[in-house]
Structure 1
Amino acid sequence: MKRRYPIALLILVLAVLFLVMLCRPEQPRQVRQTRLQLGTVVEITAFGPEDSTEDAVRGAFDEIDRVEALMSSHRSDSEVSRFNQASRTAPLSVETLQVIEAGLRYSRLTGGTFDLALGKLIRLWGFDSDRQKVPEPTALEEALKTSGEGALRLEDGELVKRSPAVQIDLGGIAKGFAVDRAIDVLRQHGITAASVNAGGDIRLLGRRPDRLWRVALQHPRKRDGLLGTLAVEDVAVVTSGDYERFFELKGKRYHHLLDPRTGYPGRLCQGVTVIANSAMAADALATSAFILGPEAGIGLLEQERVDGVIVDAAGGIHTTAGFREQVTWY
């Protein structure tokens, strides 16, 4: 009589493997989409069941559109544009006021180096268009009169101008808020792992299914070079640099990060990256630290209990203690 145990054992093993594969939880699918929003390319990556994750990603993009419609200075029908056209004040939504209140706080915190009332100055330089130029000193002097301490104030729940000429621009903080809102929408759809990247304003939800998120740090003077890579989860990472939007004239670089004290582009840094719990906070702090310079900038980040790196004008690197624990340098 022939023995059939090896064949029976093989069948049993195959049956067990089949049951294991059948009962194994479905692995999340990656959905990655891009759109032109907020004046840049926005990329959203999310993990989850394919159909519901695609719905969540569409909802996140729609939320960014909604915030942009409220706060963009490039749209004539936005709340910001209506406020700029008003002589004293104009109705603002709760969300727009929330962003403005945060911006005014950062202005006080930084001694005015973060300023929401730079709309006229930004337009004078042409950084909101393709007609960039170095303004005449007298024009700069007039534009600076519409910004600075007291140009804006909150009064009984309303934002009030010091004069009709005051123009607000929320570009240094609203993009971060829009990214945060996109993450909120993804979370509301049940997504637990996602990334929203709006041209360097990044917010991460949870961690990737297989590892931490990796965020590359652009070298400010090498187009294809990197300073290093961060390994992080559930945080925002925002970079401000003089290499993002700039023009050169007679060998001198003029970029969009304007110093409210002088009206000219800040000259103390090449780039700043900030890690914080929200993209809105990281956005405002990266801009502020860039203008303040390496010593005062690192002091600001430590005061606010966030981490970051500053590349100074000569290429020197300055970091908070916590940043060094999260970066792999190249």
Structure 2
Amino acid sequence: MRRARPLLGTFVEIEVSGASGYDTDCAVAAAFDAVAEVHRLMSFHETDSDVSRLNREAGVRPVRVHDWTFQVLETAVGLYRQSGGCFDVTIAPALQAMGLLPPRKHKQPAASIARISDAISLLPDRKVCFQSTDVTIDLGGIAKGFAVDRAVDTLRDFGMASGMVNAGGDLRAFGKEARTVHVRDPRDPSRPICRIDVTNEALASTARRMGPSSGPVSAGSAVIDPATRRPAGPISGVTVRAPTCMIADALTKIVMIAGSDAAQLLTDYEASALMISADHDIHITSDWHHAVHLAA
């Protein structure tokens, strides 16, 4: 069974193998509901989302959020510290200044926040507090991967043995069946640059135009270097393999900014990467060559 719905600003496709009937229909419907719940909680655009409530109120008082939102924030803060600041969800004001996120009338962009660990405090009872009212967060660089993970967990909870969830290029497969994913060349989205064998793992891709060829062409990726507040330059496109899609999704942004300097972080998260440099050279981490098959 394969079903698709417009969610998370893209098309989310859920595929389940080796099952049929009413239970499968219920499992797929529940998985889509899990993705929709992540969108409801973490959308920058929805006025009643956890993210919007935090951006309005967390600079004044602690705000209690859903367990899922708190999990994503914990991961984001950890990645910030481990990446030396490359992954920074407080980059939202720079995205607003570039027109990539809508402005908020109730606050002005922050002049500067030194470190995310200072800007965001994670408190007991799933409460979150910001250092000041200037802080604005966006979870767009990590929430889509988290949504894919929640969908996979839901399918497994319903007893599905094998399947794949693909949210516009952020995907995760589970079960014994190996799946082949074709990745577009960011220089020419009409052709694949490679195929990758995926089994019980996740993939995420970031580039100007890059993603699985079975899905819609991405309009682009807004990866901003927090150090310069300008679009990342050294790498043209990245695909990351990781145990979970949340980690794969976030690591693509770090690798886009840091390039080969992210090697230790990839190792720490049991992840691998394919990078296309600005001069079009292709680099694949040594532990992943067996699963990546470059196009002729």
TM (norm. structure 1) is 0.80
Which amino acid in the other structure matches residue 112 of structure 2? K
Question: 1:145 corresponds to which letter in structure 2?
Answer: S
DSSP-derived class of the 2:190 partner: coil
Q: Is the 1:298–1:319 Cα contact (8 Å) retained in structure 2?
A: no
Q: Which residue of 2 aligns with 1:44?
A: 14
Report the CA distance shift for 1:224/1:50 in structure 2 as closer, same or farther (over 3 A). Answer: farther
Aligned residue pairs total 278
What corresponds to 1:314 in structure 2? 279
Q: Deviations over 1:70-118 (max 9, x none)?
A: 1111100101101101133321122211110011000000001100112
Answer yes or no: is 1:328 the counterpart of 2:293.
Answer: yes
Unaligned runs of 5+ residues in structure 2 are 210-217
| One-letter amino acid of the structure 1 residue matched with residue 293 of structure 2 | T
1:165 aligns with 134
1:245 Cα deviation after fit? 3.8
Correspondence list, 1:197-276, <5 A? 197-208=166-177, 212-243=178-209, 244-246=218-220, 256-276=222-242
Compared with structure 1, are the counterparts of its residues 77 and 170 closer, same or farther at alpha carbon in structure 2 (3 Å cutoff)?
Answer: same
Question: Rg bigger for which structure?
Answer: 1
Which of 260, 269, 275 lines up with 1:304 in the alignment?
Answer: 269
2:121 is equivalent to residue 153 of structure 1: yes
Aligned-partner residue type, residue 280 of structure 2: G
Distance in structure 2 (CA, Å) of the matches to 1:46 and 1:311: 32
SS of equivalent to 1:59: helix
Alignment gaps of 5+ in structure 1: 1-30, 132-138, 247-254
- Is contact 1:70–1:80 with CA below 8 Å preserved after alignment? yes
Deviation >3 Å, runs of 4+: 146-149
Residue 249 of structure 2 aligns with which residue? 283
Distance across 2 between alignment mates of 1:219 and 1:207: 28
* Equivalent position of 1:179 in the other structure: 148
CA contact (8 A) 2:122 2:129 kept: yes
Is 1:93 the equivalent of 2:62?
no
Deviations 1:145-198 (A, max 9, x none): 147442222244532211101011111111111100000110111111111000
Contact 2:235 2:275 in 1 (8 A): yes
Moved more, 147-156 or 32-41: 147-156
Report if aligned partners of 2:15, 2:165 keep a CA contact under 8 Å in 1: yes
Separation (CA, whole Å) in 2 of partners of 1:36 and 1:234: 25
Measure the CA separation in 1 of the matches of 2:187 and 2:40.
34
- Supply the distance in 1 between the matched residues of 2:160 and 2:269 (Cα, whole angstroms): 29
Greater relative CO (CA pairs within 8 A, separation 6+): 2
- Check conservation: 1:144, 1:260, Cα contact below 8 A: no
Q: Secondary structure at 1:105's aligned position in 2?
A: helix
Moved more, 273-282 or 301-310: 301-310
